[in-house]
Amino acid sequence: MALNSGLPPGVGPYYENHGYQPESLYPPQPAVAARAFSVYPAHYYPPAVPHYTPRVLTSTSTPAIRTQPKSPSGTPCTSKTKKALCISAALVTVLAGAVVAAVLLWKFIRLYGPNFILQVYSFQRKSWHPVCLDDWTESYGRAACQDMGYRNSFYSSQGIADDSGATSFMKLNISAGHTDLYKKLYHSDVCSSKNVVSLRCIECGVNRRMGRQSRIVGGTSAAPGDWPWQVSLQVQGVHVCGGSIITPEWIVTAAHCVEEPLNNPRYWTAFAGILRQYLMTYEHGYRVEKVISHPNYDSKTKNNDIALMKLQTPLTFNDKVKPVCLPNPGLRLEPKQPCWISGWGATYEKGKTSDELNAVMVPLIDPVQCNSRYVYNNLITPTMICAGYLQGTMDSCQGDSGGPLVTLKSSVWWLIGDTSWGSGCAKANRPGVYGNVTVFTDWIHRQMRANS
């Protein structure tokens, strides 16, 4: 438990969901030298726009382009010193160009809506357009998936009728030679096939029995395969936080789960496909290779409360272990969209971690209502989502942190939140607050690609 001075009068402490922990949970952290550079440049930050409102506007902004630096002296490279400086400047230019290329790539490719429509940004029209199916092949789909961070994953690439209302398209120029995919694309107002590309890089969002309301506070025990993307993240054999599988190697969790000293990946082990905590003591689990916390995470306000873990060895998918889908731009959710939370958190406030995986349905709560003076009094930012019941009774609790808030849309389960914070557990006018994963999808893809 931790106090937050910014809470309204009478709210009291909020939980950070580190789970039930013995005093010896946090291992001593070895001293490390301070980094001389920022890992995440400022232009990597996602826009602070909530995407869970009924309509999602398409951004038309373009990134700034860096100019190449001039020779240090402003004169040709002649002397040995000047040559060395010129070589250094050239290397900087090449590296800067690579960064710009990566930024441009990420700015101008995405999957849109519940049908995973591949969209590319048109420099000519300064707007997003679906890719026409004309002359499209599976090899192009595999290339696009790799560029979105799915290095070893591809599920399907097919044509469907466009549902985004587009009147123009990006089209392949098959006579462009052996250039990369994006150099083959050009703007066109005609698509002969009248179909656009639907790209699924991974088979995600499928569980054993859809629509089953499977304890958290007020819920019921989960059955095998109900929530196959749920993982238990442990330190020294103790459950600390939950997480969600998005690829065989990547897990989404909360940034507050990996605050120092737990930002060191060697402390963490992930367990997947196991419902009971006691059974995990007989398994080795999956070691974590990298921990990547969002660069704008604020430990006081819990703004941008999201992090990624990369596993040392990939998960093997089966009926009990499967990924959940990341939310695409254009995924429209109702103001009271039914969602589900799951985890091994306490089943009552100040309780211990549950041995069983539990789950419960909670509806989204309008951010205006959640920010009212009677609830969280303007503590909810666009990077947060509220879900639950204002009368209380059902909620996430300590130990559920980092775990999934998912919803079923178009027969697919989408990860729209990660359990972040709340005032107590299942209290009236104190619903659960979750990281708004819909604003972090691009950031997640960038990290997957950069750390593959």
CB 225 within 8 A of CB 319: yes
CB 360 within 8 A of CB 339: no
Indicate the SS3 state at residue 88: helix
Q: Tell me which residue of 329, 394, 402 sits closest to 359, measured CA to CA.
A: 394
256 is a catalytic site residue: yes
Burial 74-108 (b: 16+ CB within 10 A, else e): eeebeeeeeeeebeebeeeeeeeeeeeeebbebeb
Q: Are strands 286-293 and 238-245 parallel, antiparallel or unpaired?
A: unpaired
244: its two tokens = 């969600």
Catalytic residue of the set 198, 401, 420, 423: 401
182 burial (CB, 10 Å; 0-12 / 13-18 / 19+) is middle
Catalytic residue of the set 18, 51, 129, 256: 256
Name the residue type at position 259: E
17: its two tokens = 């969901």
Residue 404 sits at the vertex; the CA angle it makes with 402 and 406, to the nearest 5 degrees, is 155
Name the residue type at position 196: V
Catalytic residue of the set 162, 226, 305, 395: 305
Cα of first residue to Cα of last residue in the chain, in angstroms, is 36
Alpha carbons 54 and 331: distance in angstroms, whole number: 9
356: its two tokens = 């069983």
122 is a catalytic site residue: no
372 is a catalytic site residue: no
| Dihedral of alpha carbons 31, 249, 418, 21, sign | negative
Q: Tell me which residue of 249, 241, 225, 247 sits closest to 321, measured CA to CA.
A: 225
42 burial (CB, 10 Å; 0-12 / 13-18 / 19+) is exposed
Catalytic residue IDs = 256, 305, 401
